[in-house]
Amino acid sequence: MPAPASSLPDAPQEILDDTAIDAVIDWFTVAGRDLPWRHDDTSSWSILVSEIMLQQTPVVRVLPRWLEWMHRWPTPRDLDEAPTAEVLRAWDRLGYPRRALRLKDCAHAIVTDHDGEVPRGPEALRALPGIGEYTAGAVTAFAHHGRAVVADTNIRRVLVRSVRGEASPGAAFTASERALATNVLPEDPARSVRWNQAVMELGALVCTARSPRCDACPLSSRCRWFTAGRPAQQGPPVRRQAFEGTDRQMRGRIMALLREGPASVDQVLGLADSTADDRPQRCLDSLVRDGLATLEEGTVRLP
């Protein structure tokens, strides 16, 4: 018979002690990259833009686009007033161009509902178009210097390895992982911001998915995954999405064509890799549905 609930032992709280947190922050002070959106004089809007651009996109690709973007549209009002076609051209090859549309929608909401100022607090941020749990937490921490759980893939990887001894996090951010990130987060707001920056950088530069450099990690001596011999992930392997030959690749080709100027439907269909390749028509239809292209009298253009 199972023991009464009142007599069951409490589950151990998953934490990193102050020494471990200090070690990561000290490492970041020395090894962290000098990225412009980390500068003290960077606006909340600039940080929000960087977070949207950095979703599923490496820093090396984002940096030049972000610099150009902030030069052209330094405030939400500037972006709100910009032609949609110009916004999509400036997005260039960052990928997932619907993010550019959501960012423009977000700018409009900030101008209309918040007098041009990025609102404070996770609830107000999540009410903006295209802003989810992660981005709201990141803007709260990095732009408004508040205590917030920030859990991108890099942070999640560091936490499950160091605290749980697991090789990698799952595909979805679970309630269990959210509790882990909350337990580890320092109580002091300023310290929590620094921790979020530091552990994110550690996951990006050292505790990487494919080639972790455990010899350079400030957590190696207390990392459960490393001390256990870096065991392989249990369960089915996480499948990596292919790109070559996919609709996403074809959508990118069509967008690249349209950034050069209007194109005929025949030009779009001519992007097919073979006579049996039906992706151009399917992807053109999806781009029109998503508001990324318009089609009128046989001509396709940016909206």
Residues that are catalytic: 51
Strand order in the sheet with 299-301: 263-264, 299-301, 294-296
Query: In the structure encoding, which two tokens stand for residue 124, read together?
Result: 């107000």
d(Cα 2, Cα 7) in Å, to the nearest integer?
Answer: 10
> With contact defined as beta carbons under 8 Å apart, do 109 and 82 qualify?
no
Strand partners, 264: 299
47: nearest Cα among 185, 193, 183: 193
| CA proximity to 49, closest of 116, 103, 12, 121 | 103
Residue 295 has a CB neighbour count (10 Å cut-off) of 14
Amino acid at 130: G
